[in-house]
Amino acid sequence: MDKEELTPHMEELKRVLEGKITEKELMEELDKYVNEYDVDVESAKRAIKRKFGGEESGFVTGDAVSKKIGDLTGNEPNVDITAKIVYVEKKQIRARGEDKTIISGILGDDTGTASFTIWSDGYELEKGSVYIFKNAYIKTWNDRVQVNMGNRGAVEKSDTKIEMPERSISYSSVESKIKDLKEGMGNVSVTGRVLSVEERKVNVKGEDKTVYSGLMADDTGKVQFSAWNDHGLKEGETILISNAYIRGWKGIPQLNIGDRSEVTRVDDPFGNTDLGTSSNKTLGEIAESGGGLDVGVSGLVVDLRGGSGLIFRCPQCNRSVLGGECANHGKIEPVHDLRMKIVLDDGTGAIGAVLNRELTEKLTGVTLENAVNLSKARGESGIIAREMAPRILMKRLAMRGNVMSDEYGPMMIVAEAETEEVDIETAATKLLDIVEEVL
């Protein structure tokens, strides 16, 4: 192949590998593969992209095709999407041990919406503006397609007008129970009872705004909601929110009532069900969603972590301190406290959990007074965790609390905890009854 024939392929490679290799080097590479190694040009391009393109280059198969959001299957390695930004934010994440800022949000066209992630912070995207997402790759996450922009992607402003008709959006809105809400969902409808609602004034970019937020619940769980518009929500009424989107705060899903969301008063389908408490979740479900408000779990205590037992706190800021010195308040007279940091496992997954003094005393029988006296007598405080370990390890616990996630995974701040005794006698009698019935 001569230079002229190679030029269109060069152009493609230049666009994909911009900044990673000079044009001269690129031409030499391509020439070497095609004319020296006798590799067909498509394979040569793939090889070069893989060699210089970084992480997603393995997916590259050629020119991007343009697609509508509604046509995405979740398997597109290279696609152009023209869409309007419905919601956008910058987020700090930790990836491969490094802090990184990424851009994420929701984009939409006349066929639907999808969440997107740009794995860099090199863009300032405006809500309501239309952009072309070039060379995006599409994956599914929680059964929803997600638009990803890696190294080879580029986002450019577009003059295309995009209408997102209320009807087509309502049509694609997915009904969800509260316990199934996950960060990144873009088009959900939720029926729930308003448990609380409050108005807060916040300052957004120098502008005073009112945010309406609170808690709502259905028969599967509770979720925090917030809205920038006043929908006149009242405690105790049951509402259907359609076209809401779900953001996450430390893994806890939060329901956002946006400009396109609709709020309708509906008949309460929950009857006298007490919606104050959430249903139980498996730890596998929690690991998938990342967190939740007032969640019930049960499992086996498989570890008692460091930082458990008798600890010392700063009397002013309540932080746990070592050696009578607080990072904020300097030399202080520490106050004693008890705490357990455990790992609970139910066979589907595991979470960390923090239990306060009251729960620690209840579950281990070791009181703060015992602990202080014992550690004074022995001249060390580590003895307390060692005393607690055999009293809590391999015990079956039922717990309830808020679950949040950080780089160490999901963790529950435990509000209630009970040991679950497996009543072998009752279980055996029940089995005997069944056997006798059969006979």
Chain residues in the site for Zn ion (CB under 5 A): 314, 316-317, 326, 328-329
Q: What angle do CA 202, 208, 214 make, to 5 degrees?
A: 35
Between 264 and 320, name the residue whose CB sits nearer to Zn ion. Answer: 320
Between 297 and 326, name the residue whose CB sits nearer to Zn ion. Answer: 326
How far is residue 210's CA from residue 230's CA, in Å, rounded to a whole number? Answer: 8
Between 69 and 326, name the residue whose CB sits nearer to Zn ion. Answer: 326
Nearest approach in angstroms of CB 310 to Zn ion is 18
Nearest approach in angstroms of CB 218 to Zn ion is 41
Between 236 and 324, name the residue whose CB sits nearer to Zn ion. Answer: 324
Between 320 and 429, name the residue whose CB sits nearer to Zn ion. Answer: 320
Return the residue nearest Zn ion (CB atom).
Answer: 314
Closest C-alpha to 56, from 20, 10, 84, 82: 20
Between 51 and 329, name the residue whose CB sits nearer to Zn ion. Answer: 329
Between 160 and 318, name the residue whose CB sits nearer to Zn ion. Answer: 318
Nearest approach in angstroms of CB 327 to Zn ion is 7
| Cα distances (angstroms) measured from residue 414 to each of 165, 166, 219, 342 | 44, 42, 21, 11
How far is residue 276's CA from residue 221's CA, in Å, rounded to a whole number? Answer: 8
What b-and-e string marks burial along 254-270, b requiring 16 or more CB atoms within 10 Å of the CB? bbbbbebbbbeeeebee
Nearest approach in angstroms of CB 323 to Zn ion is 13
